[in-house]
Structure 1
């Protein structure tokens, strides 16, 4: 349904459980309560909305135009009869009075009702603790400290809500181990008040020091613990973040200082800056970072730790500043995808303690500048990158009137179709061989200057079509650029598949969005039936399918069309290649 000027995200105003008040927290698409009756409120489009219906009951409407806001058409309704467990509630706005007319927008929220009360915490834990789904929900009323020598374990399905600025501060050890089916939920108790986050306070970075774990955690609405810079803030500590979801954070999602940090298979979205680290050893793998706000980067590393850092297999989408911004850090940047980065997709200056950076296998498309190399950086391992549709492709220069420019040797690169493909100032040097440079045929063995014939640029598919002269003409007979050629075939109508199950594990979740993007942009394995990846059923597997799926999973977006949520045959044949029989 069209909803460009519409908001139906519930704002919780009060909670009632019969005649007894029952604590309620959360907001948006997930609300947590101990009562059987609550009051939901939110805003609707004041121009087109004539009524709002929730569970068959018409909401009260009031126009709010003064005071502190929020402003607009306020709806409010009592929701009763909540049962223990999950209660799915749909809010529908209509263009007719008294719940009549046509729906113009809708929103679904899940109200989780617990039979027990919130377990409240404030101050230091007395000893080792284990928080569980059955023992909760849990509420942080202030800073909760895990002292040295103490371990806090959080099990799958546990719900933790935090009051304004309340945080977990870990000086002992934290093991938050959710599961794919039952992630750990960490949220602000109130929509209006951000909670702090999780700080790891100088627990050590040696091999025998504890490695804290955040696994399958869904963390939203945090800011930063008092005295720290990020919602997740390891300081002189070791931390592994894996298979997590971080969202709606007005500051840095993760901020490490003198830390050893590894982030794997994690989605970070709608944040100020994704991952910022200073003087740390940092590895980021198979992670999606999207929708940074303000003058902020997806990844920003300043200074080296004791080893090389690595950024590999990640997807960066939508930043008003840089994708990866590196200063005085030794890092390997490999097999990543950068799309719609307003400033520089990759920006590197000043050499780290463990040597020069490497750049290989990256797709950079529709960015301000593809790769910026400056201030003494020398790239000797730069190969199989694709930079296209940017304002500037590869730029080498001295910054701030420094005489230290940038230097690079690239091979098997496609830098084509940018407004300016290569810029080199008087202090810098660059060499290419077995590469396709769009502006001119660059001096060097095996270089070309031809249309690379990408398969489907409109669909963000930058693999090479069968006619491309970039196939087999990279160094040692490799294909130029980040991706090789792809094939196709007929579309039998009797193929049985589950739409959006890109990794064919029988479930539709965030790993399928990652698998789709891995196939499209990194040459990863894909199903024989490409229809499986066409999550929005528009007849073309492309980046919009991954975005569509993520919105369905995390932002109450529309579900994939049939066959979904059960396997079946395609109801709208579209020519995508599929073998006969079950998809595999």
Structure 2
């Protein structure tokens, strides 16, 4: 009996040890991998036949929450606001066609690259990437649009979808360190931009053609061809064209991003619009104004350059333009500098503008017309005197302007500060800026020696329309 009891006890002990070993083994086992994140975007494939032509298409909606590649063997349709969220990279192959579906205001189709995300949209000269409207019957492997660009065959097409927005973490000079980008509702947190990283990298955007964009949600709240908000100098933006935007061709809100080899054709508002203390450099750029309101496009300024918003708390940030060529056509002004702007424009060429246009240095409302009471911010007239607004080596062609307009070098700069309303009286400063300082550093010409090298832009749709010939060479 005792022997049996001992055997039974041994069995119990063995079972207990086996249980303990098993439990310890479970603790040391490799945990099961986390499940793949659930996609927050949807892609639906469908074929469509229009005018006897078959279109192979993928419709995209939602928020990219993992890396993804748009391939060039199918057209991609943006269904509303398509967002690339923080930590995610969207790659677009050379030769890819991306189309925005119809939608107005806050419902407009856009591609939004959020802060901390990246876009790698790198076309080539032989195979550019095209962003256009769903109404454009351009097909895979094609480059020419079927919509009207210049208004020669009926009203020009524009404002058919939102546009492309790239946001970053670079410094901005706004009312806060980070703000919501225009055109995106405040409820969309991916619309915030701005930060402290001047070298922030939002990716690379090269050899891209953006067409028929622009939406207005309200005064001062618009979408345009390309919007850059708080984008840093680590981001590459070159060989880009923005065609037929219902607002600006490109608008840059703060940041330090540099752009080069950039074309704006037929904007319904301004060509190059900058705000919030942008301090990058724009090199070898082209502006071509619209052909006029009769054709559906009445452009405003070649450059609209705004200063910082709020208290900058430091040294003025100077945005630079080098080797630009601006063909005015219907545009109302060469450029308009506003709100304490600080910019440096050199070695650029202006031609084909209408009679009576000028280069305006706007006055702060409290400086001009408020009984001589000065604001805390310097006027742009003061900035010109101080050397934080610079115009040097620019050429204005007086014999190549719409309607045969001619002008003298003394009539180009319009310093709008009313010196007699300030204390002390600054009338002499205004006169000196307009008739001495500006004429000494710039020229009226009949043959250009400055401006853009358009030979490197032969890849563009603008070039295929033969719009980079007369006046640019």
Matches within 5 A, 1:116-515: 117-134=56-73, 136-164=74-102, 165-171=108-114, 172-191=117-136, 194-199=160-165, 200=167, 201=191, 202=193, 204=195, 206-224=197-215, 228-238=222-232, 240-272=236-268, 273-279=270-276, 280-292=278-290, 293-294=297-298, 296-304=300-308, 307-318=317-328, 319-327=330-338, 328-342=340-354, 343-349=356-362, 350-351=379-380, 355-366=387-398, 389-390=407-408, 393-395=411-413, 397-400=415-418, 402-403=421-422, 405=426, 425=431, 430-431=435-436, 457=446, 461=447, 511=455
Q: Check 1:392–1:120 CA distance in 2 against 1; reply closer, same or farther (3 A cut).
A: same
- Distance in 2 between residues matched to 1:231 and 1:288, nearest whole Å: 15
Q: What root-mean-square deviation, in Å, do the aligned CA atoms of Structure 1 and Structure 2 show?
A: 4.2
**2: CA distance, partners of 1:309 / 1:217:** 23
CA contact (8 A) 1:120 1:138 kept: yes
- Local SS of the residue matching 1:271: coil
What's the CA shift for 1:143? Answer: 1.1
Structure 1 or 2: larger helix share? 2
Structure 1 CA distance for aligned equivalents of residues 337 and 59 of structure 2: 42
Contact 1:345 1:367 in 2 (8 A): no
Q: CA deviation at 1:355?
A: 4.8
Contact map agreement 1:225 1:231 (CA 8 A) in 2 = no
Distance in 1 of aligned mates of 2:241 and 2:435: 40
Q: CA deviation at 1:294?
A: 3.1
Change (3 A) 1:326 1:118: same
Rounded Cα–Cα distance in structure 2 between residues aligned with 1:274 and 1:296: 8
CA distance in 2, matches of 1:389, 1:287: 24
For structure 2, the residue ranges without an aligned partner over 5 or more in a row are 1-45, 103-107, 137-156, 168-190, 291-296, 363-378
What is the distance in 2 between the residues matched to 1:559 and 1:316? 13
Deviation at 1:368, TM superposition (A): 12
Higher relative contact order (CA 8 A, sep 6+): 2
TM-score (structure 1 length as normaliser): 0.48
Offset, 1:432: 6.9
Q: 1:253, CA displacement in angstroms?
A: 1.5
Q: 1:127 to 1:331 in 2, by over 3 A?
A: same
Gaps of 5+ in 1: 1-20, 24-34, 40-78, 83-112, 370-386, 409-423, 439-451, 464-481, 484-501, 504-509, 515-548, 561-584
Per the TM alignment, residue 251 of structure 1 is displaced from its structure 2 partner at its CA by: 0.8
C-alpha contact (below 8 Å) 1:177/1:215 kept by paired residues: yes
Please state how far the C-alpha of 1:131 moved relative to its aligned partner: 1.6
* Alpha carbons 2:413, 2:438 under 8 Å: kept: no
* Residue 189 to residue 431, structure 1, CA distance change in 2 (3 Å): closer
Flag the 1:143–1:552 CA change in 2: closer, same or farther, 3 A. closer
Shift in Å at residue 308 of structure 1?
Answer: 1.6
TM-score using structure 2 length: 0.58
Task: Tell whether the 8 Å contact from 1:143 to 1:166 is kept in structure 2 after alignment.
Answer: yes
Q: 1:325/1:436 Cα in 2 relative to 1: closer, same or farther (>3 Å)?
A: closer
Cα distance, 1:255 vs structure 2: 1.5
Equivalent of 2:463 in 538, 550, 553: 553
CA contact (8 A) 2:255 2:279 kept: yes
Q: Secondary structure at the match of 1:553?
A: helix
- Match of 1:57? none
- Matched-pair contact (CA < 8 Å) for 1:163–1:195: yes
Show CA shifts across 1:413-469 (max 9, x none): xxxxxxxxxxx75x868547996999xxxxxxxxxxxxx9x7xx4xxx256xxxxxx
Give the whole-Å Cα distance in 1 for the aligned partners of 2:83 and 2:442: 56
Q: 1:555 to 1:216 in 2, by over 3 A?
A: same
Kindly indicate which of the two structures has a greater share of residues assigned to strand.
Answer: 1
Q: State the partner residue of 1:475.
A: none
CA distance in 2, matches of 1:216, 1:126: 26
Classify 1:396/1:225 alpha carbon distance in 2 versus 1 (closer, same or farther; 3 Å).
closer
C-alpha distance in structure 2 between counterparts of 1:287 and 1:301, whole Å: 15
Whole-angstrom CA distance in 1 between matches of 2:442 and 2:213:
45
1:206 Cα deviation from its structure 2 partner: 1.4
Number of matched pairs: 325
Give 1:142 deviation, angstroms. Answer: 1.6
1:251 is paired with a residue of what secondary structure? coil
Structure 1 counterpart SS, 2:266: strand
SS in 1 for 2:267: strand
The Cα shift of 1:204 comes to 3.9
Of the two, which has the highest radius of gyration?
2
SS at match of 1:243: strand
Task: Find the residue that maps to 1:174 and give its secondary structure.
Answer: strand
